Chains A and B, each alone.
With several copies, the nearest count.
Chain A
Amino acid sequence: MKIGIRHRQGITILDPKGKITIGSGDIALRDSVIEALESGARKILINLKDVSTIDSSGIGELVAAFTTVTNRGGKLKLVGLPPKVSDILQITQLVTVFEVVDTEDEAVESF
């Protein structure tokens, strides 16, 4: 798994690609969220559009990222959910926890 990092109007955007699954991708996601926080980012947007598969470990990392960012006074939002990733968040009732936005533009305005 590769995670790209972009910056846009004060927002740090993470672009994970491929699988966020146990042993590959889950740790990478955690690391890049921590890195972003340490370099001072407080508005973090994860764009999931290129994520093909996410398992419970990957979901767990999203939840952990949410908690960490919130605890540090930041905000974490999700955008670009592929239908199956959206389904899997829905099933575990995490759509209520995460702030999920429809487009990057919307995210940029809403932070």
Chain B
Amino acid sequence: MSSRDQEVHLALESRFENVELVQLMLEESLVKAECDEDTRYWVGIAVREAVANAIKHGNRQDPDKRVEVTLAIVDQELVIGVTDEGEGFDPGEVPDPLAEENLLKPDGRGIFYMGKFMDGVEYDFQSTGGTKVTLRKRIVFQEAGEKQEETR
């Protein structure tokens, strides 16, 4: 286990403000792990989408339902799990937001962004109901030399 390894669990109420809390924890963890700024930004967007979906589609903003977030950095890989208490869905049925007929739709881009910004997006559906999405990303650690590069 490297000193950059970390693990944090969070259980949150189904409110959109809590997307900010998750983002804050993620940012803190990634800064501590010396992850570069661009990666932090794009991973941040992907995680926002996952948490927003859990609150909106999964728990339908029911204040009594929780969103669980697990944030781990193990062997230079960031693994984020977001679990809701919703009814699940069929990821295979989600329309392609790049298809001509979907380009002007106001929604349907969240999962697509997750896929673009992460190395892996995996859906699991619990037998008790509820959706778990696991996002993975290899982390590029900033070395001292690179940091200097940035401030030049």
Closest B residue to A55 by beta carbon equals: B48
B74 at interface (Cβ–Cβ under 8 A)? no
Q: Is the beta-carbon distance between B103 and A93 smaller than 8 angstroms?
A: yes
For the complex, is A84 an interface residue (Cβ under 8 Å from B)?
Answer: yes
Provided the pairs A22-B52, A92-B97 are in contact, do residues A56 and B103 lie with their beta carbons within 8 angstroms?
no
Cβ–Cβ < 8 Å partners of A88 in chain B: 45, 113
| Interface contact A55-B104, CB-CB below 8 Å | no
Q: Is the interface of B mostly helix, strand, loop or mixed?
A: helix
Min distance, Cβ B29 to any Cβ of chain A, angstroms:
16
Does B125 belong to the interface (CB within 8 Å)? Answer: no
Answer whether A22 and B56 are a contact pair too, CB < 8 Å, given A53-B45, A84-B41. yes
- The chain B residue sitting closest to A96, CB to CB, is B103
A22 to B98, CA, bound (A): 21
Contacting pair A63 B49 (CB below 8 A): no
Give the interface size class of chain A: 20 to 34
CB nearest to A84 among chain B residues: B41
- Asked if residues B109 and A24 are in contact (CB atoms below 8 Å), the reply is no
Chain B positions within 8 Å of A94 at CB level: 103
B141 in contact (CB, < 8 A): no
Question: Which of B15, B17, B49, B109 is close to A92, meaning CB atoms less than 8 Å apart?
Answer: B109
Interface residues on B, range: 20 to 34
In chain A, positions 74-111 with a C-beta closer than 8 Å to chain B are 84, 88, 91-94, 97
Quick check: B19 and A60 within 8 Å, CB to CB?
A: no
Across the interface, do B113 and A24 meet the contact criterion of CB distance under 8 Å? Answer: no
Q: Bound complex: CA of A63 vs CA of B102, how far in Å? A: 11
Chain A residues 38 to 69 lying within 8 A of chain B, measured CB to CB, are 53, 55-57, 59-61, 63-64, 66-67
Answer whether residue B112 sits at the interface, using C-beta atoms and an 8 A cutoff. Answer: yes
Let me know if A23 is at the binding interface, CB within 8 A: yes
Q: Which 6 A-B pairs have the closest CB atoms?
A: A23-B16, A60-B106, A56-B109, A64-B106, A56-B110, A22-B52
Residues of A within 8 A of B (CB): 21-24, 53, 55-57, 59-61, 63-64, 66-67, 84, 88, 91-94, 97
Q: Given contacts A23-B52, A92-B113, list 13 more A-B pairs with CB under 8 A.
A: A23-B17, A24-B16, A55-B110, A55-B113, A56-B49, A56-B109, A56-B110, A57-B107, A60-B106, A63-B106, A84-B41, A92-B109, A93-B98
What are 14 A-B pairs at a CB distance below 8 A? A22-B56, A23-B15, A24-B16, A55-B48, A55-B113, A56-B113, A60-B107, A60-B109, A63-B106, A66-B104, A92-B98, A92-B109, A92-B113, A93-B103
